[in-house]
Amino acid sequence: MAAESECIKSHAIMISAPYQGHINPFVSLALKLASNGFSITFVHFEFVHDKLSKALHSNNNEVDLFSEARESGLDIRYTTIADGFPSEFDRELHFEEYWESITFDFQSIIDEFVGKTIESDPYSVHFLVADTIYVWPGKISDKYNLINVSLWTQPALVFSLGYHIELLREKGHFPWGGNIDEEINYIPGVESISTSDLMPYLIKAESQILRTRICSVAFEQVKKADFILHNNVYELESQTLSALSKYQPNYTIGPVKFSKNIPTNDVSKSFWSESDCTNWLDSKSRGSVLYISFGSFVQTNKQVIEEVAYGLLLSEVNFIWVIRPGILGSPDSNVLPFGFVDEINIKDKGLIIPWCDQIKVLSNPAVGGFLTHCGWNSTLESMWCGVPMICYPIDWDQPTNRKLVVDDWKIGVNLCDYGTSVDRKQVAEKIKQLMSGISSKSLRQEADNVKTILHKAVEIDGSSERNFAQFIKDLRAKLQETAFNLN
């Protein structure tokens, strides 16, 4: 275990947004910080803890996500916090109401929690590690004189667009309501991006949509952070990250999930029980299986599901398709077309599962492609495994992530060439193009190149490990300074 500063004992208070794609890197970062000698208090919302407990088929009181980590010698305390809503409240169905409260009311709850945590450990110097999308870390850090560390769980390109929202406003590209695409080529470190590749929350003004208002405030607040961590690799977004580092200390430390020096990464982070597809995959030939998942949060509709289903049948490819509970935004269990499951079972062409260990599936040699919504967590995992992608972005950062995957890194293709209308014949064509078409070889070669970049970055002498070591050095210097000022 790395030696901590001789003079001070440091204690991180960590809280992520309550979504799978945010929780995963936060858990890995907690383990990584603890392995460098820091004490950690890791906070989950109570409803997140309930979900994790149900996925493990355990009683709430029995689930301690970091018990094995503590047994290995790491000082990670796990606790939960109320979010102000009853457990039965459907936070996905009532997303706007929920996030309005989290944005404007939750600060008082986290304020009380942070105050009590500091009181319970008065001899430590505390610092806050919070999700960038929260609007309160700056105010909490100021009140308790905490070092403010912000973890960004999406690409630097998305961060930079949000960071420069006032510049976009000044140039007439925020909010963007134009019918004709325009190129944006004035964001520092961003060569060029079309207005069609902007995140959907940049399309409307703050007064029109809550998420735009939240993101606008969050990106203004992150400018007060002492350190900003990015869950990506410097080599893939070097220009953007170099430009951002001129404003504040930015460190690319990803993909943090695959860091080599984490003593244990066996911490349950899944909201649903995982199906094991190993035996079925092992019965298929190398590169013959398409994996399909639209992630843990975004929703789609029956028409999209139906067109993808019939497209799969037309393509005649082997596939594993994750149809998670609530994917249609309703309790409707009849998601797939009538007779679809019977047909694929007879031919042994596919598996329909509610959830799985995605890395375990993507790393199986039988998997040759990933039809994805382009959530950053899924994108990173596909890149790590060298699996090319068919991109169907739905919301949030996903359209911008698609640009990186398809246009910049050339490791994927679009499911829809124009707009988001899904057609079964085009689905079949795109599947064939990715799995066995003329462009398949170049896509796989580029995917292998990106895979190599990611794997090298997390080696002991890799860029992400060097950046993390520099962050730790800078953090400790700041903690020493804070401790000195307190005394």
pLDDT per residue as tens digits for the range 48-80? 999 888 888 777 777 788 988 898 899 999 999
| Residue 296: predicted pLDDT | 84
For 406-462, write each residue's pLDDT tens digit.
Answer: 999 999 999 997 667 899 999 999 999 999 989 999 999 999 999 999 999 999 999
CB-based contact 106:114 (threshold 8 Å):
no
Burial class from Cβ neighbours inside 10 Å (0-12, 13-18, 19+) for residue 199 reads: buried
pLDDT confidence band for 299 (50 / 70 / 90):
confident
Q: Which domains, from first to last, does the chain contain?
A: 10-153+225-260+458-486 (3.40.50.2000), 278-453 (3.40.50.2000)
Least confident of 282-291, 305-314, 475-484: 475-484
By residue count, the chain amounts to: 487
| Residue 448: predicted pLDDT | 98
For residue 73, is it left (φ>0), alpha (ψ between -120 and 50) or beta?
Answer: left
Q: Percentage of residues in the chain with pLDDT exceeding 90?
A: 80
3-state class of 91 per DSSP?
Answer: coil
| Residue 248: predicted pLDDT | 97
Q: Residue 89: which residues within 8 A CB-CB, separation 6 or more?
A: 47, 98
What gap in Å lies between CA 417 and CA 439, rounded to an integer?
Answer: 16
Outline where DSSP puts E strands in 210-331: 227-230, 250-252, 289-293, 318-322
Q: What is the pTM of this model?
A: 0.95
| Residue 485: predicted pLDDT | 77
The secondary element (H helix, E strand) that includes residue 44 is strand 39-45
| Residue 354: predicted pLDDT | 93
| Residue 263: predicted pLDDT | 66
Using CA of residue 104, residue 109, residue 115, residue 117, what is the dihedral sign? negative
Structure tokens at 170: 């000044």
Of 122, 123, 89, 114, the residue nearest 18 (C-alpha): 89
3-state class of 334 per DSSP?
Answer: coil
How confident is the prediction for the chain on average, in pLDDT?
93
